[in-house]
Amino acid sequence: VLDFNDPFSTEVKPRILLMGLRRSGKSSIQKVVFHKMSPNETLFLESTNKICREDVSNSSFVNFQIWDFPGQIDFFDPTFDYEMIFRGTGALIFVIDSQDDYMEALARLHLTVTRAYKVNPDINFEIFIHKVDGLSDDHKIETQRDIHQRANDDLADAGLEKIHLSFYLTSIYDHSIFEAFSKVVQKLIPQLPTLENLLNIFISNSGIEKAFLFDVVSKIYIATDSTPVDMQTYELCCDMIDVVIDISCIYGLKDDGSGTPYDKESMAIIKLNNTTVLYLKEVTKFLALVCFVREESFERKGLIDYNFHCFRKAIQEVFEVRMKVVRSRKHQSHMQKTKRPTPNGTPRMPL
């Protein structure tokens, strides 16, 4: 278990804080995205009454800690050491219930952001305007505009215009929550520019329209090429991953039940009725590449597969570099601990 105060802990596993008022939907978001819970089942979740920590380690890229905070947490309580928590935080997600009166939530958001920024100016502040499934399209836009305006006005009044807030309309009843979490996680991946560049090279040389690098466990896409992301395209990719995993769990195992449903041989082709082909290939044990290809381009499948082989090899090299960095930092962290003096002033000796 990594120490709470260990700088290595938060550097290798960035911390994401889930904050907001009670019943705003924080725990439901976590359960749906990372535990495959059905949105309808979240209606029976009890209110969070203590800080809950969870390590998410699906792959070498999707690797972070989530801290779910109870809505009634009091920053002015002397037992709450907010400085220690904010110091090691990569992203702070503040959830606002769009179907409720959000004036109190905006006041809490302002207090939270100002406190966190003073301790750690490098935190990414992400605002989830949640439960928008119950609003009309016009009402969604109006609510987002109002919350955006009020939150930024509060910061401007406090002389903190340089704090950047990112806003997302989310719901656990569609794919918006997965896309929002994807954007949050991408900001915490130092290798993101390299991954995007690899995807750009891959699609430009293969005649591919769009490509996503997915974490198959959470359906978070950790990178995509530089072309704009269309929500409908993203939803199709998520649905394809669900279909492939479900079918693989039925037919992908051996007769004796051994083996894994998702392995290096995993691959799927789905032809849509608009002359587009969805093509999925396994990259690593936890990552999948999902591509949109025109039928005429897909006739050169041999070229696409060769380029994919080169792409997968490059991803593995990025993996290896990251793991070397992790091991090096872990060793440095261990050496620093062993050099710390003991309470009587004598240096610690490594065992």
Give me the residue spans of the domains in the chain.
15-188, 191-325
Both structure tokens of 29 = 């978001």
In whole angstroms, give the CA distance from residue 45 to residue 98.
19
**Under 8 Å CB-to-CB from 216, ≥6 apart: which residues?**
241, 245, 262, 286, 287, 288
pLDDT of residue 59: 60
pLDDT of residue 337: 62
Question: What is 191-325's CATH topology?
Answer: Beta-Lactamase (3.30.450)
In whole angstroms, give the CA distance from residue 99 to residue 129.
9
pLDDT of residue 344: 54
Neighbours of 309 (CB within 10 A): 11
Both structure tokens of 49 = 């009454």
Would you write out the chain's pLDDT as a tens digit for each of its 351 residues? Answer: 234 344 434 445 789 999 999 889 898 999 898 888 889 888 888 777 778 888 887 665 677 889 888 887 776 677 777 788 888 899 999 999 999 999 999 999 999 999 999 999 999 999 999 999 989 999 999 999 999 999 999 999 999 989 999 999 999 999 999 999 999 999 998 889 999 999 999 999 999 999 999 988 888 899 999 999 888 899 999 999 989 888 888 887 777 766 677 778 888 999 998 889 999 999 988 889 999 999 999 999 999 999 999 999 999 888 888 777 767 776 776 676 666 555 555 555 444
Both structure tokens of 154 = 């509060």
- Cα-based torsion angle of the residue sequence 220, 223, 226, 228 in order, rounded to the nearest 10 degrees: 0
In whole angstroms, give the CA distance from residue 348 to residue 159.
46
**What secondary structure does DSSP assign to 113-169, as a single string?**
HHHHHHH-TT-EEEEEEE-GGGS-HHHHHHHHHHHHHHHHHHHHHTT-TT--EEEEE
Tell me the one-letter amino acid at 303: L
Stated pTM of the model: 0.84
pLDDT of residue 4: 39
Neighbours of 212 (CB within 10 A): 23
Question: What is 15-188's CATH topology?
Answer: Rossmann fold (3.40.50)
